[in-house]
Amino acid sequence: MKFSVKQGSLTDQPCDALVVNLFEGVKSPGGGTGAVDKALGGAITRVIAEEEFQGALGSTTVIRACDAIPAKKIVLVGLGKAEDFGVIEIMRASGAAGRTCRNLRARSVASILHGAGIGGMAAFDCAKALILGTMLGTYQHIRLKTEDVKDNSIESFEIVELSPAKLDEIERGIRRAEVIGDAITFARDLANEPSNIVTPSYLSNIAEEIAAGFDMRCVMRDRAGIEEEGMNLLAAVARGSGVEPRFIEIRYESPDAKKTVAIIGKGITFDSGGYSIKTAEGMQDMKGDMAGAAAVLAAMRAVGKLKPGVNVLALIPAAENSIGGRATHPGDVFKSYSGKTVEIVDTDAEGRLTLADAIAYASKAGVDEIVDVATLTGACVIALGKKISGILGTEQGLVDRLIEAGASCGEKLWQLPLDSDYKDQIRSDIADLKNVSGGKGAGPITAALFMEAFTGGVAWAHIDLSASDTDEDTPLAKKGNTGAGTGTLVEYLLGF
């Protein structure tokens, strides 16, 4: 889709579909929607009454313009309750309207700017949310389909604004949304691909392309390089697979930087659980266990385009967790990159092992902050479901900024306590640490405490991506991977 803004009246726009809006409970529309209603001789008011259209968030109805205005069809979308209105509501309404326009096979779409001025919302934020919601709500992963394929029909999408004073702000919002939306859909595409395509080598090739495209430095380590570097926890996870692991490193440097932030993504391209094997049902979605890596790679594409004023060290420990003749056994002990020894009690708790070596590497590299994103624990899904991701960290300010960054692009984060009282649960009888607590509960917390032991005192936050995938279509995502974490990383890095 090509996105743009145009100064003018909604009633003068030639297009296949014109999007207007209505708050819940409103019977007689005002503003831009009211102007269109008047031009249509009260058609919108009649539809509201006749079809009992309530304006519930994301609900839509279609009205034929009948040559009264240049638009062929009107798509009326509900914004929900005015008192609940914000960024996420704009995104959800825009996603719903976009899908309706796509289903109408509309090639050209014009839209009212949802929410500008309501509750103090700036035109920039409204435009960003509108475009981002449209991009995410109309996303499809159909690359591998050969039958019954209907691609997105929308070619042009134009925000129509009457006030010339808002045009620059809206334009900036559109351009920001395009980059973030492209990053999130890129992450979705990566995580939705099967594991016979997306291997650690595939991720490393993507990383090299990103680095080359934006003049960043990129270093790859293969199995021998990983072992030579002393990343024995990552090596232990990769031992059972015939697929080669990779440790991926990308560096972005800004001339204006005063800080260096490490972003780390878990890159398990398929997780069988190893000898602590998963059930067949538990294994079927494990191609997406590299969603954290996808988020980091996608964020680096956005960093290359937007060039924030901070240095970024992106790290991805990538491997398959499989069973084989050399696979790690429960009870084996390995020395980590940091020098701490770890008893691997459960080979299915592999993500924290790979991240531990990456976190220690970032700490040794002298970064100021570390943020990791990972599909780490099923316990976090049980606690928060698949709409909210968990976050834990050692510095409250860092956690707060990440939560705020997520909220600005519709990604919900909920803080869990990093309580040191649970540290006893990960102490080993024969090594410094063990990788699981042994069924004593607090799974997201003990996993985070395990990784905290490798931070070397650097400010650190961990995002447990319980919202990385969805089992059903949602207002902003099709069934499959959601790209969660990507927007949060991009918005956070742009804050410097």
Tens of pLDDT, residues 38-57: 999 999 999 999 988 999 99
> Are both 191 and 83 inside the same structural domain?
no
Return the ∠ at Cα 142 (arms to 93 and 136), rounded to 5°: 20
For residue 179, tell me if it sits in a domain. Answer: no
User: Do the domain assignments include residue 173?
Assistant: no
**CATH number of the domain enclosing 46:** 3.40.220.10
Alpha-carbon span 314 to 297, nearest angstrom = 8
Flag whether 90 is in a domain.
Answer: yes
* CB-CB contact of 416 with 393 (8 Å): no
- Residue 153: what pLDDT? 83
364 lies in which domain range? 185-494
Q: Which two tokens stand for residue 27?
A: 């019977």
Q: At what angle do helices 87-103 and 123-137 cross, to 10 degrees?
A: 40
Query: Among residues of the chain, what percentage have pLDDT more than 70?
Result: 100
Residue with tokens 């000898």: 275
Q: Is residue 278 among the annotated active site residues?
A: yes
pLDDT in tens, 188-197: 999 999 999 9
Task: Find the mean pLDDT for residues 355-359.
Answer: 98
Instruction: Give the tens place of pLDDT for each residue, 213-233.
Output: 999 999 999 999 999 999 999
Residue 9 maps to a domain: yes
Q: Which two tokens stand for residue 403?
A: 């939560």
- Options 38, 175, 278, 307, the catalytic residue: 278
Q: Quote the CA–CA distance of 356 and 339 in Å, as a whole number.
A: 11
One domain for residues 30 and 155: yes
pLDDT at position 150 over 80? no
Same domain, 227 and 120: no
- What is the dihedral sign for C-alpha 193, 195, 201, 203? positive
If asked whether residues 244 and 387 sit together in one domain, one would say: yes
- Pair of tokens at residue 250: 């990308």
Look-up of token digits 């519930």: 56
Cβ atoms 263, 314 nearer than 8 A: yes
pLDDT digits over 410-467, tens only? 999 999 999 999 999 999 999 999 999 977 799 999 999 999 999 999 999 999 999 9
- The CA distance from 492 to 308, in Å, is 10
352 is a catalytic site residue: yes
Residue from 92, 239, 352, 478 carrying the catalytic annotation: 352
- The rounded mean pLDDT for the chain is 96
Q: Which two tokens stand for residue 428?
A: 């080993």
Nearest-5° angle of CA 436, CA 438, CA 444? 50
CATH number (domain holding residue 274): 3.40.630.10
Number of domains in the chain: 2
Residue 98: both structure tokens together: 């976009």
Tell whether 484 and 402 lie within a shared domain: yes
Would 132 be classed as within a structural domain?
Answer: yes
Answer yes or no: do 372 and 435 share one domain.
Answer: yes
Rounded distance between C-alpha atoms, residue 160 and residue 147, angstroms: 37
